[in-house]
Structure 1
């Protein structure tokens, strides 16, 4: 074991503080990564504050990790010292269930191992990317292609794959009309990706204050959901709606915006239930679905797609000392569009 500098939450109510955490020694199939940048995801806030269930503290969050390989185990074949790599929301899975064998490790039937706040295979609790180093099995490390800077790549490991996966699964592309609910950390990547895939993209946001940004990022249209007329004007318009909002919205109203056989896919994860009027589904053979990140193979595919199309997250780089301020700004929707921690400030 060795120690790494980190920022961690001491409790569900306390500010994150500088500390040290233990990392396991590099095993035969492990990769040691010197973390350069770590994105701040709304999920980090939900988790450390116990919104999704009790946690074991202290807890260092962070599952949008970009860095450089500094050591590899003797049996590693996929990565080498000096490689530019990333780690997303999971660091292990059973590798044996039907979903893992399909390359959908995020849906592991025996429970994938989250990058932080999860019980690891050695019985310890995983600690995330708000730290200087991490040790990860090579199978859960992806290559960051040349052409994508590490700082803008970090949020792709969650925000990028979380939106890429449902866009691909539900067939976003030429001839398809895609709406994105919310223009935040997830939403801005959904717009960029859907546009690059060739879909006609509409942003549905509470107000028009980010309209200029939305159009610059690739949206063809932008509508305010605070205007009741929006739901009348756009009724029956979309083949696919990606809901990125991590708060309760009137799902039934949004279902009415779908075409025949359209799908509304939730990637935002509010703590409270989202009631649905079933007639909103029946009348139009519509679907209400969910999607969680993507498998390792698809995550690599997403990174390669982003490199090909020159895509990265819109970011604000901060020192570790500003993490707590950043949390408050995320909750106030005061970021365009992802905070990224420069982990060199942890040293």
Structure 2
């Protein structure tokens, strides 16, 4: 069996080096995908540094992959996929299809065989990546394949809450953190028809936030400005992974409003019960969405010509690309183009 070329880190925080591995035999429900493009997500950096304590080494990141199907197991062959078809793979790459969550269509929450693409597996900073057929998602015509990778993690992470939260075009929505996730949230919400306020820690992003779809902009660090906006929003999505003024943010919600967290904030979020009780407010969170939501998101993006703002690097420059992300210079997502010989 031919060896797969990849880029791997051998210890926490280490530089990526060329790495070869022998793939295991292809399972009956699995699909092998020749990688064309792969986005870099902040989760790749967190996993590289083992911030969540679940990384195994050598570590091959990459869970925003776009590529062509090159091999399928016997069961996967019956599921409508074709050799040569362009598909994408996000954070999830496996499901048992028979636990309670899978039977509800929540494959991302599978309690048996659910796996993340880069947890205990080699990801898509490689020639090939392997996935369960459920998570080999066909890429619709009309989407730029080179830029589509970040939709499969960051994009669905901010799109699924709009479906789960029954967000309407008449709702007023706030987005905290205008980065890799937040800028896509603005684009989706504009197409959704919502009045959107972008909250960012620097006024330097105001103009770009408006170009992405923000109706209004505000400084997330200005307590006086937040106080003026108290009680004005139906829904708030927090994409940042840093400590924020949570009391002020919750005060922005209208009666019955919801604060939804998708940024991996590592510190506990303090919540005063009476602020929730008296305002009938709620706090929630979610990971990436399910397969049906992913298909809906990709169709929505194709229909409304939505794509992340992307900077490109050849995969051979992966260390430069990761440093660009780490330094906070990415505007706003990074995609690696496969350039293996």
Using structure 2 for the length normalisation, give the TM-score.
Answer: 0.95
Mapping of 1:51-66 within 5 angstroms? 51-66=51-66
CA distance 1:32–1:19, change in 2 (3 Å): same
Confirm or deny: 8 A CA contact 2:95 2:132 kept in the other structure: no
The answer for the alignment partner of 1:9 in structure 2 is 9
**How far off is 1:5 after superposition?**
1.2
**How far off is 1:6 after superposition?**
1.0
2:337 counterpart of 1:346: no
Mapping of 1:1-347 within 5 angstroms? 1-75=1-75, 76-77=77-78, 78-110=80-112, 112-117=114-119, 125-343=120-338, 345-347=339-341
CA distance 1:56–1:302, change in 2 (3 Å): same
What whole-Å deviation, never above 9, does each CA across 1:54-106 have from its counterpart, x for those lacking one? 42200101110111112333431321012110011111123222111111111
> Aligned equivalents of 2:99 and 2:245: distance in 1?
36
Bigger CA drift: 254-263 or 65-74?
65-74
Confirm or deny: 8 A CA contact 1:51 1:271 kept in the other structure: no
CA distance 1:268–1:259, change in 2 (3 Å): same
CA distance 1:275–1:322, change in 2 (3 Å): farther
**How far off is 1:229 after superposition?**
2.0
Unaligned runs of 5+ in 1: 118-124
Unaligned runs of 5+ in 2: none
After TM superposition, where is structure 1 displaced by more than 4 Å over at least 4 residues in a row? Answer: none
The answer for the alignment partner of 1:122 in structure 2 is none
SS at match of 1:210: helix
> Aligned equivalents of 2:32 and 2:147: distance in 1?
21
Bigger CA drift: 305-314 or 244-253?
244-253
> Aligned equivalents of 2:196 and 2:289: distance in 1?
22
Confirm or deny: 8 A CA contact 2:95 2:134 kept in the other structure: no
Confirm or deny: 8 A CA contact 2:176 2:220 kept in the other structure: no
CA distance 1:33–1:232, change in 2 (3 Å): same
> Aligned equivalents of 1:170 and 1:308: distance in 2?
22
Provide the aligned C-alpha RMSD in A: 1.6
> Aligned equivalents of 2:257 and 2:326: distance in 1?
31
Report how many residues are paired.
339
> Aligned equivalents of 1:272 and 1:22: distance in 2?
39
Confirm or deny: 8 A CA contact 1:173 1:194 kept in the other structure: no
SS at match of 1:313: coil
> Aligned equivalents of 1:29 and 1:289: distance in 2?
33
**How far off is 1:324 after superposition?**
2.5
**How far off is 1:173 after superposition?**
2.6
**How far off is 1:205 after superposition?**
0.4
**How far off is 1:145 after superposition?**
0.5
> Aligned equivalents of 1:53 and 1:173: distance in 2?
38
**How far off is 1:111 after superposition?**
6.3
The answer for the alignment partner of 1:120 in structure 2 is none
CA distance 1:218–1:254, change in 2 (3 Å): same
Using structure 1 for the length normalisation, give the TM-score.
Answer: 0.93
**How far off is 1:261 after superposition?**
0.8
**How far off is 1:271 after superposition?**
2.5
SS at match of 2:203: coil
Bigger CA drift: 154-163 or 136-145?
136-145
CA distance 1:280–1:18, change in 2 (3 Å): farther
